[in-house]
Amino acid sequence: MKKRRALAILEKFKLKIRPGKENFATFYYNDKFILTTTVPKGQGDFYSVDKFRNQLRLDENQLRDAERCPFGYNEFVANLIKKGYIN
């Protein structure tokens, strides 16, 4: 996965991205903090895909679908509710 693709997924899932040394992203739902992740700045390959996927609480198929488009914000929230991260 490319870093650009990872950032596009974060934007699709409506995470708040704060640029710094790395792109630090946080997800809030109804003003409640849910999760955080980072994506390095720059271009090229993103080597921490498994860590990124785990931080977003996704399985491999969900991350692949998010990259290809059928898994969007509503599915992301439903997944977090199903896993108990959102009440």
Model pTM above 0.75: yes
Residue 39: domain span: 3-82
pLDDT (tens digit, 9 = 90+) per residue, 1-41?
Answer: 999 999 999 999 999 999 899 999 999 999 999 999 999 99
Helix 60-68 / helix 3-12 crossing angle, nearest 10 deg: 90
Q: What's the structural domain count of the chain?
A: 1
In a domain? residue 64: yes
Using the predicted structure, report yes or no on whether residue 69 has a pLDDT greater than 90: no
In a domain? residue 52: yes
Among candidate residues 36, 37, 52, 72, the one with its CA nearest the CA of residue 2 = 52
